[in-house]
Structure 1
């Protein structure tokens, strides 16, 4: 029996895309998974869609938070209750290709890796392919400080090797700060250069505002990683340069 993978999906106003997201998990060739969807007090009726799938497949679970708390707390709640050896992340508007889990779990086992990631396609709000994010084959803590080469929808880590890693409670960039925490525990990681997922660009999404993202990047350097002003400037120059050429 393959090891259980726990898929963490925060849900807020997700009615428009959540069905497609769930179906991309149901289509996985790797079948030993649990999908933990954490409702962050969504005001729409996305839970009606989710509950339909909960009844349809007992691998899908819905947890409802008592108050709107943001994606970090929602993801952390999912991580807290997860039963799998592996933790994977998939937001409620993103998609996985059918062999994503199978390819990545096999890759982790074959290479003895605690953490992996992959390249991914970029799609528009209506699902059209508009580009591709090509990740780096090797990443360590220092290269991650220069640019985030890990899309949250592709990240998987092994609890048996590094324990449960929870996301820091900061306003934005929680996933990036989490990868930095992981790289403090491991020397390096390898990624799959083949795209295994589809990241949806949604208008007014948190990640679509580049100025806010840059401000948060600076805060992570200074407040989360506690880098001095000179190191922060050094890495921020790389971050700004890489941000310009990130997507082809």
Structure 2
């Protein structure tokens, strides 16, 4: 591992319209020692060509062409397999970072000895013309607390591999949620940095906006991934659903 390097993990599928803005937000970071690994999941549009153009102009951007379409978990794993940095950051292909995101996240991780850091953010509309209210985060989350919480947005996460070791995503629907739970289950505590550092783009057909599907997949994560009993699952799901309702009531 390269100690000061941040490896940015970006799965991309049909992202030709947004990936350029996402890459530009990384290039604008005040922490400049990074590599951005964009794993194109066999997009039917021009995603691969767009990323290749950015990579030709900036050697820190690397295109990872997946051999077959496997979904976000497989694409993230394809990028993770080539990551060289001590720090692992996640940024989805339609989201954006504010310039101090990496610098402040690393400083927060170092100040708290944290294996996992997450930050606050705001939603933006697909065309970027509308910005939502600030969504803050708690100071810390344990494994038990995260089971009933929606506070960790994937594109805000920074991991310290010197502490948590190698990271791989499970082939499940909410691979990111399962990954954070797996790390915290080892005894680590997630540290929240309550700063506005990310923009979450709301896509017109986003799966996360399908509440019925989301609820079903969270329940499956409790029962099939975490192997919780029905009573414990119902308890944590209630907390998760209430927090999700408050989170999504306003833009």
TM-score greater than 0.5 by the shorter chain: yes
Residue pairs, 1:13-52, within 5 angstroms: 13-52=14-53
| RMSD of aligned alpha carbons | 1.2
Q: Secondary structure at the match of 2:168?
A: coil
Paired with 1:68 and 1:202, the residues of 2 have a C-alpha distance of 20
Question: What's the offset of the Cα at 1:2?
Answer: 6.8
Q: Secondary structure at the match of 2:132?
A: strand
Paired residues of 2:141 and 2:191 also in contact (CA < 8 A): yes
Residue pairs, 1:94-105, within 5 angstroms: 94-105=95-106
Paired with 1:86 and 1:240, the residues of 2 have a C-alpha distance of 31
Question: What's the offset of the Cα at 1:241?
Answer: 1.3
Question: What's the offset of the Cα at 1:189?
Answer: 2.3
Question: What's the offset of the Cα at 1:186?
Answer: 3.0
Q: Which runs of 5+ in 1 are unaligned?
A: none
Paired residues of 1:6 and 1:36 also in contact (CA < 8 A): yes
Question: What's the offset of the Cα at 1:233?
Answer: 0.9
Aligned to 2:157: 155
Paired residues of 1:123 and 1:131 also in contact (CA < 8 A): no
Q: Which runs of 5+ in 2 are unaligned?
A: none
Residue pairs, 1:89-168, within 5 angstroms: 89-127=90-128, 128-168=130-170
Question: What's the offset of the Cα at 1:183?
Answer: 0.5
Segment drifting more, 128-137 vs 213-222: 128-137
Aligned to 2:199: 198
| TM-score normalized with structure 1 length | 0.97
Aligned residue pairs: how many? Answer: 247
Paired with 1:140 and 1:238, the residues of 2 have a C-alpha distance of 14
| TM-score normalized with structure 2 length | 0.95
Q: Secondary structure at the match of 1:9?
A: strand
